[in-house]
Structure 1
Amino acid sequence: MPQTHHHPDVERILLDEQQIREKVTELGEQIAADYADEPPILVGVLKGAVMVMADLARSIPLDVEMDWMAVSSYGSGTKSSGVVRILKDLSADIDGRRVLIVEDIIDSGLTLKWLLSNLRSRGPKSVEICTLLRKPEAARVEIDVKYVGFDIPNEFVIGYGLDFSEAYRNLPYVGVLKRSVYED
């Protein structure tokens, strides 16, 4: 059922709850089929991936383990430089394991490129990526993403884990943030 009411800072709803739910379920089914013989360890990237990770894990009818990383990329304001530091590392050893990175959104790809390299250096059997959202127009590096929920325009989006200054993560939909909110 489409959202008719939204937060006053939201210009418009890009993806409603039902669209997100259906896509996450579809991604979970694809992942279950691809990993039926050997379930992956899901690696969520904090904080944005919390919502998609929780819903995705519930939609995969396999015994999947979950772990988390928090990384920070240096840059100015809303721009990433690709220079990354680990704030919270994995608890699990991924040597010889199948790893599936779960992201909320991929825009420039710079931080994710670094994360891929870092995880691959730890000896996993494989490393693949699942993202709910991807902004093809914002890409600054080429990254092979196995599972993509939606390709979206290069706009500032919030909700369903995505934030602006730690606000809006709990919105149940993905919306475009009004420019007046972040261009003061």
Structure 2
Amino acid sequence: MNNDIEKVLFTKEDIEAATDRLAKQLSDEYRDKRPLIISVLTGAVLFTVDMIEKMDIMAQLDFIDISTYFGGAQSTGQLTLIHDLTTDVKDRNVLIMEDIVDSGHTLKFLIDLLKERGAKSIKAVSMMDKPEGRQYDVAVDYYGVRVPNEFLVGYGLDYKGYYRNLPYIGILKPSVYQED
């Protein structure tokens, strides 16, 4: 796997520093709000676990699975809700945990869905923010690192389901995915 990486952008230590900072900020801001943390499967699981271990607050956790990629290198543009929430969001403070916000398509869909379901407040928390890729007008309220408009893998990000377990965030060599 490591041979497929063109360049490491953020090391394990960089990631830990970013999650420490974010967890402290969210703990301070949500101390008495008992938020519902929604982890967007599958990519945000590692980030979500790291965050909830470090956040010193009462919170609930639920999962939602939405996909536009289906394993390829580029979004299909079609958004599919694969697994819905099991928790009612009505009158709840919600924190959406994302691995990366790129086009903003998934985040916009989620925010609209949660508003429609009556969430009290909705904030987006993403390990990575890729503003250059934005196609939808959505804001990332809290982010760990800003990333360039490159094909990234590691720390939850994948290509065809692989590379999620890399302990760093890196740029995948184009030769790996150009066949698609």
- TM-score calculated relative to the size of structure 1: 0.92
Provide Cα deviations, 1:86-110, integer angstroms capped at 9, x if missing partner. Answer: 1101111111110000000011111
Structure 2 residue identity aligned to 1:106: V
Partner in structure 1 of residue 163 of structure 2: 168
CA distance in 1 between partners of 2:104 and 2:127 (Å): 14
CA distance in 1 between partners of 2:55 and 2:71 (Å): 37
Partner in structure 2 of residue 101 of structure 1: 96
Please show how residues 85-96 of structure 1 align to structure 2 within 5 Å: 85-96=80-91
Partner in structure 1 of residue 49 of structure 2: 54
Quote the sequence identity (%).
39
Structure 2 residue identity aligned to 1:163: D
Moved over 6 A (4+): none
Partner in structure 2 of residue 66 of structure 1: 61
Contact persistence 2:31–2:58 (CA under 8 A)? no
Provide Cα deviations, 1:45-80, integer angstroms capped at 9, x if missing partner. Answer: 000001000000111001211100001227894333
Structure 2 residue identity aligned to 1:114: F
Contact persistence 1:155–1:176 (CA under 8 A)? yes
Contact persistence 1:82–1:114 (CA under 8 A)? no
- The DSSP-based 3-state class of the residue aligned with 1:164 is coil
**Which among 143, 149, 161 is matched to residue 144 of structure 2?**
149
CA distance in 2 between partners of 1:166 and 1:151 (Å): 23
Q: Any stretches of 5+ residues in structure 1 without a counterpart?
A: 1-5
Partner in structure 2 of residue 3 of structure 1: none
Contact persistence 2:71–2:160 (CA under 8 A)? no
Q: Any stretches of 5+ residues in structure 2 without a counterpart?
A: none
Change in CA separation of 1:68 and 1:62 when aligned onto 2, cut-off 3 Å: same
Change in CA separation of 1:76 and 1:162 when aligned onto 2, cut-off 3 Å: closer
Change in CA separation of 1:10 and 1:27 when aligned onto 2, cut-off 3 Å: same
- The DSSP-based 3-state class of the residue aligned with 2:165 is coil
Contact persistence 1:68–1:90 (CA under 8 A)? yes
- TM-score calculated relative to the size of structure 2: 0.94
Structure 2 residue identity aligned to 1:71: I
Structure 1 residue identity aligned to 2:144: G
* Aligned pairs, number: 179
**Which among 173, 177, 180 is matched to residue 175 of structure 2?**
180
Contact persistence 2:94–2:119 (CA under 8 A)? yes
- The DSSP-based 3-state class of the residue aligned with 1:83 is coil
